[in-house]
Structure 1
């Protein structure tokens, strides 16, 4: 795997061979997502949350573009160890939470400017994620929540939904914390 953009663009990292619950976001989908983000968000000063952290790839991309306040939630001990080791070797300052994402979201008292969720596609509770993020008021005003999912999920009727981008079997639904999108 590699970081595709920013000051650390081109740096490579090797995830573990056996990642039973992890499906890294492809470079094509990641490139498309970061093109959207770069045209809509000012990275410096963002406070970010990467839930279902997996390899940590999304947070490494954010750091490469100037984000310094990065929190990653990953419950799989092997993947959490990998994130910690890789972040150190890439000199990316992450706050790693080794716990279940839903438990973290329920007890979280912080607010973020950007939240990314790349859950396992088989997760049966995926549709609850946008609801929890907005019910718990985890986003600052104008904050973005991006949910990675497959075409079988549809969030167009959810509050705060703005748009989606399709990269084959990977779809990013974008939600923005704006009153006019509340519905």
Structure 2
């Protein structure tokens, strides 16, 4: 995988083969960041990266100037790899080793962008729990967005707070926002 833009543009990051991950493709990541670039100033936002895996998405935010990034993953190897990479590139990433659902139930961290890349084989109920917990616990800041990456075979359009989705190859990004009551 490589960093698409910013301070670390074109840097390659090689994750150990034994990590239980499926990194977001470069094409999908570039398209996603084109959308985010039109919504926010990267140096002025707080990011929460759930199911962070290799840290691929967090590195992209850091490369573009985001300084407040928290990565959450339950796998020790993933957290260790993110910490090592963040240290090597001097990136301001904070990591939390935790089951994402337990983390969302207890955290008080609020963010402008919450990105979740859970396993593609999650059930619709498991996918739905992510926005339920994010919105139920008021974890998005004003004008914030929750982005959930999933397979094109998963439809989240009926989940509360769904706004829209974008498809890139086999990847989908569903966007969830606070809606006016």
**Is the pair's TM-score, using the shorter chain for normalization, greater than 0.5?**
yes
Please list every run of at least 4 consecutive aligned residues from structure 1 whose deviation after the TM superposition is greater than 4 angstroms.
none
Quick check: 2:128–2:159 contact (8 Å CA) kept in 1?
no
User: In the alignment, what sits opposite 1:71?
Assistant: 70
| TM-score, normalised via structure 1 length | 0.93
Residue 12 in structure 1 maps to residue 9 in structure 2: no
The answer for unaligned runs of 5 or more in structure 1 is: none
Counterpart position of 2:103: 104
Q: Which SS does the other structure have where 1:126 is aligned?
A: helix
Cα distance, 1:135 vs structure 2: 0.8
Measured against aligned partners, the alpha-carbon deviations of 1:16-53 in whole angstroms (never above 9, x if no partner) come to 0122x210000000011001111111211211100001
Q: How far, CA to CA, are the matches of 2:8 and 2:169 in structure 1?
A: 27
Per-residue deviation at 1:157? 2.5
Q: CA RMSD in A?
A: 1.2
Q: What does the per-residue CA deviation read over 1:72-103, in whole Å, with 9 as the maximum and x for residues that have no partner?
A: 00111111111110111111111100111011
Residues 15, 82 of structure 1: 8 Å contact kept: yes
Q: Which residue number in structure 1 is paired with residue 135 of structure 2?
A: 134
SS at 1:146 equivalent:
strand
Shift of 1:160: 2.2
Following TM superposition, by how much is the alpha carbon of 1:118 offset from its aligned partner in structure 2, in angstroms? 0.5
Distance (whole Å) between structure 2 residues aligned to residue 77 and residue 53 of structure 1: 11
d(CA) in 2 for partners of 1:157, 1:79:
32
List runs of 5+ in structure 2 lacking aligned partners: none
Residues 49 and 116, structure 1, Cα contact 8 Å, conserved in 2 = yes
User: Please, what TM-score do these two structures have when normalized by structure 2?
Assistant: 0.94
Q: 2:144 — aligned with what?
A: 143
Size of the aligned set, in residue pairs, is 179
